[in-house]
Structure 1
Amino acid sequence: MVGTNAAKIALGMGAQVTILELSKHRQQYLDDIFGGRVITLASTEANIAAAVRHADLLIGGVLIPGAKAPKLVTREMLSSMKEASVIVDVAVDQGGCVETIHPTTHADPTYVVDGVVHYGVANMPGAVPRTSTFALTNQTLPYVLRLAERGLQALHEDPALLKGLNTYQGKLTYRGVAEAFGMPCVEPEAVLA
């Protein structure tokens, strides 16, 4: 989502855009929605290194729900970037996907490493609280209503809701969270039975 929206804005500003994506299906989707106006590449170490070297702006939009973001951009890759290039690591809330990123604040949002400007504000939507609250509410309200109306039955009826269950009756039911904390995980279906 973050990468797709960033690409739309960058294209609108006339930028040349490269998107690195693991999923071949998602690459095809991006090629389709952008009508070939972006370069889509498999997210491999070699492709990341090449893209980083030529980037004026790098946006790290990695998300593995419930887990830490993998460090995909190394300090060595960073050293190949042009002076005054910019990195925005949206994954900073999950540890960041850039080796040199660390959380910053809205009051002091940037710092420079090897001539590259880093923006690592945790909770970026906090800069626009009203707008981000409306956006979040619009996306989550249908799920909240379903839970309010159907209770636990909603989890049995809706696979999307079941995938969102993290804990139940003191047990972790979301594998990513369990792995991040080194704790055991129980399948959601087992605790709801």
Structure 2
Amino acid sequence: MKIGVVRELSPAESRVALTPGAVYEITRRGHEVLVELGAGLESGIPDEEYSAAGARILGDAAAVWNESEIMVKVSGPVPEEHGLLREDMILFGFLSLAVNPSLVRALIESRCRAFALEMIQDDRGRLPVLTPMSEIAGRLVPQIGAHYLQRPSGGRGILLGGSTGVQPGRVVVLGAGIVGTGAARVASGLGADVTVLDRDIDRLRQLEGLRLRGVRTLVAGGMSIREAVLGADLVVGAVLVVGARTPALVDRDTVREMRSGAVIVDVDVDHGGCVETSRPTTLDDPVFVEEDVIHYCVKNVPATVPITATQALSNALLPYVLGVADRGLVGALNSDAGLRRGAAIVEGRVVSPPLAEACGAEHYRLSSVLPMHAEAR
């Protein structure tokens, strides 16, 4: 099969979907990889490395789209790319469809077969492609928050680790998943006073088991969230509902009552964000001030470190690309239940139950759209 890799057009998106190492593994299995000229430069990958790995370099993105049977992207197609989608194409990417109605329409109209990387699950319910990006984001956000808490950056003038005889800064993390746990770990290492809230007691118990210094856990509820946020210097939003829009757990009134110069880093803003005042920003213009609180709401935080993020993403994505290329789409779906869960829109029909609910669209069973054997239905 022909697999395509293009330069990402989303604002300040510096990652690329596959590394030369992944290209080598694909081409040695007899498949062809087409790479747009310059696609990997912002991730520190020159075209020569792709060529040496067996890729064919094309100077025009449209040519890559037109020739490819599988298109592998980081972010979902932007409006300029919608017209390049077609019926016989398989698309992989972080699609964020619950908050992207124009892309939903484009995917339905094109009748391509779209898989959302953030929805692919393994047999234990984990998110193997999203997880490395979440790990990176979780490790970055306390550093980001610490930067914007400094007075020259507009913040309160707080050092998260405090000083001898001085209380440390207070960090509140909403969500104890991969992002939240990573944020708690790094904030703890910085010496901050950290509170992590989640509705899942098992997650909180796992976090408690790490015995991180200065980290406490609370069951999330309307009152506990409000009280914690009002006392915070830094709030990290790390909430994810797979395939659906993120609920707003912090309302505008609560933000209005926060300390002047406090910072909110809402990681999952690409799915709506868990703070009512959040709105997506980019790495070129990452923050805004709302209710006298600094908001950092970048949709693609891992793109801050594209060399690391690209390598991690490519490692996680490669098995799924090879599975489809080697077995064909139906064969891969029959053998991989996790890949089936990543199916979002196939041949003009919404096949993801949470996406259908989020978009108010009719839901179709994947097995009613593609011919699959009984065990996969």
TM-score scaled by length of structure 2: 0.48
Q: Which residue of the other structure, out of 319, 326, 331, is the alignment partner of 1:153?
A: 331
Q: Which moved more, 1:127-136 or 1:31-40?
A: 31-40
Of 184, 191, 208, which residue of structure 2 is paired with 1:14?
A: 191
Structure 2 counterpart of 1:102, from 276, 279, 285: 279
Distance in 2 between residues matched to 1:123 and 1:5, nearest whole Å: 16
2:259 to 46, 57, 82: 82
Identity %: 44
Which amino acid in structure 2 is aligned with residue 6 of structure 1?
A
Matched, 1:69 2:246: yes
Find 2:352's aligned residue among 156, 160, 174. 174
Segments ≥4 residues shifted beyond 4 Å: none
Is contact 1:52-1:80 (8 Å) kept? no
Bigger CA radius of gyration: 2
What is the rounded CA distance, in whole Å, between the counterparts of 1:190 and 1:134 in structure 2?
36
Cα displacement (A) at 1:6: 0.9
In the other structure, the counterpart of 1:183 is: 361
The two structures, once aligned, show a CA RMSD in angstroms of 1.9
Match of 2:341 in 1: 163
Q: Which moved more, 1:35-44 or 1:172-181?
A: 35-44
**Pair 1:46–1:135, CA change in 2 (3 A):** same
Q: Could you tell me which runs of 5 or more consecutive residues in structure 2 were left unpaired when the two chains were aligned.
A: 1-177, 373-377
Write the deviation string for residues 140-165 of structure 1: whole angstroms up to 9, x where unpaired.
22222222223322222222112111
The more displaced of 174-183 and 149-158 is: 149-158
Q: Describe the SS at the equivalent of 1:166.
A: strand
Point out where structure 1 has 5 or more consecutive residues left out of the alignment. Answer: none
Cα distance between partner residues in 2 of 1:157 and 1:32:
35
* Cα distance, 1:72 vs structure 2: 0.6
Distance 1:140 1:21 in 2: 29
CA deviation vs aligned residue, 1:78-135 (integer Å, no higher than 9, x gap): 1232221100011111121111111222222112222211111222223332222112
Cα distance in 2 for residues equivalent to 1:90 and 1:42: 20
Higher normalized contact order (CA 8 Å, seq sep 6+, divided by chain length): 2
Determine helix, strand or coil for the equivalent of 2:197: strand
What is the deviation of 1:56? 1.0
